[in-house]
Structure 1
Amino acid sequence: MNEHPIWSLVEEAAPRLIDLSHRVWATPETCYAERQSVAAHAEELRAQGFDVTEAPAGIPTAVIGEAGEGGPVIAFLGEFDALAGLSQEADLAEQKPLEAGANGHGCGHNLLGSASMLAAVALRDWLKQTGTPGRVRYYGCPAEEGGAGKTFMVRDGLFKDVDIAISWHPNSLPIILRGSSLANTRIDFTFEGRAAHAAGAPHLGRSALDAMELMSVGINYLREHMPDTARVHYAIIDGGGISPNVVQARTKVRYVVRADTVPEMLSLIDRVCKVAEGAALMTETSVTREILAAVSNLLPNGPLCDAMQKNYETLGPVPFDAADREYAAGFQATLSDEDISDAWRSAGLVPEPGRVLGDLVPPADAPVRPLGGSTDVGDVSWVVPTVQLMDATTAVGTQLHSWQMVAQGKSGPAAKGMIHAAQIMAMTGVDVVLDAGLRERAWADLRARGGAEGYICPLTADAVPPVKAMAAE
């Protein structure tokens, strides 16, 4: 097998980008609060010779780096936000937070952004060495976990001149993503009532807590009459205080509404809002709502998936060794049989008992599985042909958003998976630079899947990135 020149370029640049992933792992920051993480990414982009734009779309924790001249614009999408409450010691196969209640990289975004930048650096170097026209653009995108950073960036036109977008995500098994995700909106409902002494003058009170609870009851009845794939879930942001002898005058609850498509989601949101209004009417309170973030469903791209599949087959699986397997076995022992079987099911693969790492090539004919969750990559995919890989970085069965994912985020297997993903992304970047026909087929596929109406931005016209609202939480 002849090695592709881009492989060695990735390997040469890898040590600095692995170090970046470790630094981001050590400073886990959540939605719109990724100040140290974005600073580290901007610093590395400058060190690599990229022109840097800070705070694009008015988002303080976003960054864009660009290099090259002429030719098509190839975008690599990076992320670096963490999750709340998932602090965990590295490489320890038992749950032990570094700091109780603190953040942790439970979705592997420390690896995600670093590998995407690694691919961008390698493609830039290849363009320079071969004298090939083309521009490489790295998008450091914040707040994928619920903040819709890319949606705001798309709405503000930051992808309007991009020819192809390429991304990836850490996982326990490799997948070329040919399925969709769910459209998603986050809405805060605030109920306002009237405080009163709960025993001395309860008749004078109007309970915002009652309204919030009645909304929950109404949503539970609504679930029976939603499409099977739709989802509605919630978190109480403000329960009205800790004094049961005071009628609660103000409460806030955050709902996430998901559906297969943006139009279906908007219809379901309308019904959820009616439930909130009904709860307010029953309790003689008032309710206001604020849409914090919204994302579209993902549009896969057939020609780009085929190109990435070919590159995966050419490169082969992640080169894990015996030490990596011994390491992964310790973590797989902490997982349930259901965790492991679900990983195989989600990848559309036949389970292989005893396999602890995903060092295999995803079959081209694997069943297409919907993601089930949501991602703001979806909005990019509606305006630019987009391809996304999930590559093996952890023990088979490791669930995203888990302490096990955090613990393996700085490991040898994680670094190998990160390099491997960057090689595949960079190779795919070479393909789309050299092959105008591939770019044309990718755009034709996007137009066909998007339909006559095309992209419907799920954000309201006056929505702004919820930096203050979400970064403070």
Structure 2
Amino acid sequence: MQNYQSIWTIVDEKSPAFFELSDRVWETPEINYEEFRSSREHRRLLEAEGFRIELNVAGIPTAVMGEAGEGGPVIAILGEYDALPGLSQEAGVAEKRPLVSGGHGHGCGHNLLGAGSMLAAAAVKDYLAANGLKGRVRYYGCPAEEGGSSKGFMVRAGVFDDVDIAISWHPAAFSGVNNPISLACSEMNFHFSGRASHAAATPHLGRSALDAVELMNVGVNFLREHMPTSARIHYAITDTGGSAPNVVQANATVRYLVRARTLPELLSLVARVKRVAEGAAWMTETSMRQEIISGDANLIGNEPLEKCMHAQLERLGPVVFDETDKATARTFQATFTPDDIASSYARFDLKPGKDEPLCDLIVPLYAGDGSMVGSTDVGSVSWVVPTVQMRGATYAIGTPGHSWQLVAQGKLPAAHKGMAHAAKIMAATAIELVCNPALIEAAKADHKDRLDGNPFVNPIPDEVMPPIRPEPDTPDAGQ
């Protein structure tokens, strides 16, 4: 049996520096492919910890990888650090109070996710060295999870080809091993082009691209009745063609996000949506161009890994929150609706019991039916590498995802405690795998059986490139 207390102690000793990393990333929120400062902060701590560094991973300037150890299996621990637009919020305040009007904010907790994953990797590094164990641990700093699908581009570039096992986590209201269900997705623009004209004098000469967008939306709304119940379709009109109603709009764009339970279902549904767009173009005598932006595969589970990680959770127990943490969480719960709180429990197939504002238990393995799930680019990794994830309790029960309330809780002591707890679980799981080669082989066999000969089809076509942006001229750039 491994010395789990030893690896947990290493995490505790290293935690302060990683709490500071998480807070610094929280303070400089950056969205898809703009995470230059956040990536740089991760690189600096990787260097301080003595990792071997690789920058510009898969040709993405804000992706970074650190490796430590020699020989043996390769265990990857995945981190993220991108924020969301429009969620700027003052820390620790239970009322909506943006720091910057229209600014960004860490509304999914990725400041904690990246720092916690690197903390786990650093602890594994030290444990391997102290015990003379063969094995390599890698921290992958992955940008642009929020609709940017960077891991899909990284998979396509082959950066996980020699990895044996991938481990990750995500901040949540409850602690437990993920029910490995997510929706495959594809995000795309539909650009319509027509002919401008005077809307009153010569409307017959115009061909309205905006009409095409509206007709497409009507067609997709009818399509919703005839698709799998687990599928989802969302849209946003990103270019209406102008603001003058007396002009027939010659150009307009609508962005669609199509989700389905499996990759084959996704590809079929995307084809149907495209046919609706083509029909809208025919009806309006406009032309249509489809532009795929990003896409994620659905998660592939792995029973040996999930049972291993759940055993670590049961061994360590839940996060220990104190009365101050709970009192603060209650102030945030006062801003939620009863449905917010009920939905938080229902997601993990739990019934609200005693009045606990923070998670004080370990969720049973495979709790929840997967009916309330989104998409993640970890799914693409799970098709090529046996992968396991956990949820780590870091915020008040009922906190809506992608909300100002979640941003506001991102620097609280409770968030730090939940982050360290998740790092202990991931680190202990990694050590168990390094010391038990049979478990790695069992995980690989399970992975092969689940794929059952189905080759991975990356939902990001080969010709689609990540939308790399130039680094802005900031005082710390290049340091």
How would you bin the TM-score normalised by the shorter chain? over 0.9
**Cα–Cα, structure 1 residues 138 and 245, in superposed 2: closer, same or farther, change >3 Å?**
same
**Distance across 2 between alignment mates of 1:227 and 1:12:** 49
Amino acid at match of 1:37: S
Counterpart of 1:28?
29
After superposition, the CA RMSD in angstroms is 1.4
Post-superposition Cα deviations, 1:267-306, rounded to whole Å, max 9, x if no partner, equal: 1011000110111111111010111101100011111111
Any idea what SS the aligned residue of 2:389 has?
strand
Counterpart of 2:181?
180
1:228-239 aligned at under 5 Å gives the runs: 228-239=229-240
1:14-163 aligned at under 5 Å gives the runs: 14-163=15-164
Counterpart of 2:475?
none
TM-score using structure 1 length: 0.97
Counterpart of 2:352?
351
Any idea what SS the aligned residue of 1:467 has?
coil
Counterpart of 1:304?
305
Any idea what SS the aligned residue of 1:391 has?
strand
Amino acid at match of 2:77: F
Q: CA deviation at 1:178?
A: 2.5
Any idea what SS the aligned residue of 2:29 has?
coil
**Are residues 1:13 and 2:24 paired?**
no
Counterpart of 1:399?
400
Q: CA deviation at 1:163?
A: 0.7
CA contact (8 A) 2:176 2:313 kept: no
Amino acid at match of 2:418: G
1:306-385 aligned at under 5 Å gives the runs: 306-364=307-365, 366-370=367-371, 372-385=373-386
Any idea what SS the aligned residue of 1:206 has?
coil
CA contact (8 A) 1:74 1:165 kept: yes
Post-superposition Cα deviations, 1:166-196, rounded to whole Å, max 9, x if no partner, equal: 0000001112112310000001110111111
**Distance across 1 between alignment mates of 2:104 and 2:218:** 32
Any idea what SS the aligned residue of 2:458 has?
coil
Q: CA deviation at 1:114?
A: 0.3
Task: State how many pairs are aligned.
Answer: 469
CA contact (8 A) 2:178 2:366 kept: no
Amino acid at match of 1:337: P
CA contact (8 A) 2:116 2:422 kept: yes
Q: CA deviation at 1:200?
A: 2.0
**Distance across 2 between alignment mates of 1:284 and 1:366:** 51
**Distance across 1 between alignment mates of 2:78 and 2:450:** 21
TM-score using structure 2 length: 0.96
Counterpart of 2:449?
448
**Distance across 2 between alignment mates of 1:131 and 1:214:** 65
Counterpart of 1:284?
285
Please list every run of 5 or more consecutive structure 2 residues that lacks an aligned counterpart in the other structure: 473-479
Counterpart of 2:222?
221
Amino acid at match of 2:412: S
CA contact (8 A) 1:348 1:369 kept: no
Amino acid at match of 2:172: N
**Cα–Cα, structure 1 residues 214 and 335, in superposed 2: closer, same or farther, change >3 Å?**
same
Q: CA deviation at 1:368?
A: 4.4
**Which deviates the most, 444-453 or 313-322?**
444-453
CA contact (8 A) 1:197 1:245 kept: yes
Any idea what SS the aligned residue of 2:295 has?
strand
**Which deviates the most, 71-80 or 233-242?**
233-242
Q: CA deviation at 1:201?
A: 1.7
Please list every run of 5 or more consecutive structure 1 residues that lacks an aligned counterpart in the other structure: none
1:391-470 aligned at under 5 Å gives the runs: 391-468=392-469
Q: CA deviation at 1:371?
A: 5.1
**Are residues 1:268 and 2:274 paired?**
no
**Distance across 2 between alignment mates of 1:113 and 1:14:** 13
**Distance across 2 between alignment mates of 1:60 and 1:424:** 30
**Distance across 2 between alignment mates of 1:24 and 1:340:** 28
Any idea what SS the aligned residue of 1:362 has?
coil
